[in-house]
Amino acid sequence: MINRRSAIKLAGAALLGASIPLYARGKPLKVLILGGTGFIGPHFVDALQSSGHRVTLFNRGKRDPEAKLGVEQLLGDRNDNLDSLKGRDWDVVVDNSGYTPKQVELSTALLRQHAKHYIFISSIAVYDDFQDPPIDESHKLTAIGDMPTDKLGDGNYGALKVLCEAVVEKSFGKRANIIRPTYICGPGDFSDRFTYWPFRVAQGGEMLAPGTPDDPVQFIDVRDLADFVRVCAEKRVAGKFNLCTPPRWATMGKLLEASRRVTGADTRFAWATPAFLLEHKAIDADSMWASQEIPIWAPPSGPSLGHGLVASARAEAKGLTFRPLETTIRDTLEWQKKRPAEKQKLRSGLSPEREAELLKALKA
């Protein structure tokens, strides 16, 4: 027989069990994050901790001298001082701060026998071009050439990521997981590339919009990226994965219209052709990437043909999910409002003066 007190205890236990996701009910993992501060690192920490995993950060302690409550922080330098990692074992390593092959060689050599799984955060910048879309994980990688490999700069970001991926695969083999995100957005994104669009829509009035409403754009909410990293850690997912919204899941028109709904602004969109934007030097004819003034979007032709058509099906099959576009917009704007006054002038997008100049030229 079960008395009333026992029944209450059982009910409470059932409710508690129901509130814990299935993936969190296994044995907690020991996870080492190489980095863990900045933009994406704290989201990784939140996703892993919320599932009961024990997180250790390794970094120089400059961005965030005091680690989050419950998170161990080991200090060192990826370039020449990994002493604090010696003699320790982890279930999973998440490397979101590897930019040169030397850095990754040092960490993989030390951790090869002390970690069961290695997740490396790379980039779609590893691809040589964006022709013949959709761009899947087997697409041709960029050539290394004679560019410097010992430091980041001079347009070698993608090539260095190619070399870093090769180091991880050679060292960890079938225990290696390579994640290639596109533009990462959401709360904490100090690049302002995604933020510019909803932020500008919120200002209202006539707004310059690039291309056509049907032009595809791609990005990944940092929290969806973090959730996928958690899934990969828990299920020991191996292989290479593009991380982005599916092709045509979002278009420039959908992004702007969703921003207008979320903000309630009276914004009117003035669509400018790629030819117009080229003529007025808002975009670069030879680039396959978006420009600083017109972020995220790139002409759906020429060098950037498949820029918004990167395949995400492989990651979706392993558990990648996407929160609603409106959620990303709303949360990003809420975060933006809380930034200091000096951060209200965004690093990406058109300045009000430049936009007024282009709108005047467009009307003419």
Dump pLDDT digits (tens) for 152-189. 887 899 999 999 999 999 999 999 999 999 999 999 99
In a domain? residue 231: no
* pLDDT for position 220: 98
Please report whether residue 30 resides in a domain.
Answer: yes
Per-position b or e across 215-249, b if 16+ CB within 10 A of its CB: bbbbbbbbbbbbbbbbbbbbeebbebbbbbbbbeb
Tokens matching residue 248: 């045509």
CA distance 105 to 266: 53
In a domain, 77, yes or no: yes
pLDDT at 3 (0 to 100): 42
Examine residue 127 and state whether it is found in any structural domain, yes or no. Answer: yes
User: Does residue 132 fall inside a structural domain?
Assistant: yes
The phi, psi pair for 308, rounded to 5°, reads -105, 20
The predicted structure's pLDDT at residue 262: 98
The tens digit of pLDDT for each residue in 109-159 reads 999 999 999 999 999 999 999 999 999 999 999 998 888 888 888 789 999
Q: Is residue 265 part of a domain?
A: no
pTM for the predicted model, two decimal places: 0.91
- Is residue 150 situated within a structural domain? yes
pLDDT-flagged residues of the chain (< 70): 1-25, 63-67
**Are the beta carbons of 305 and 133 closer than 8 angstroms?**
yes
Number of domains in the chain: 1
Tell the residue number behind the tokens 């050599």, with chain if given.
109
What is the distance between the alpha carbons of residues 213 and 302, in angstroms, rounded to a whole number? 19
Going by DSSP bridges, is the β-strand pair 216-217/250-251 parallel, antiparallel, or unpaired?
Answer: antiparallel
Single-letter code of the amino acid located at 186:
G
Amino acid at 60: R
- The owner of tokens 């250790």 is 56
Q: Is 263 among the domain residues?
A: no
Domain that holds residue 118: 24-181
Residue 34 bridge partners (DSSP): 58, 95
| pLDDT at residue 63, rounded to an integer | 65
Q: Indicate which CATH number applies to the domain containing 102.
A: 3.40.50.720
pLDDT score of 69: 73
Number of H helices and number of E strands within the chain? 11, 13
Question: Contact at 8 Å (CB) between 292 and 281?
Answer: no
Phi/psi at 363 (5° precision): -65, -35
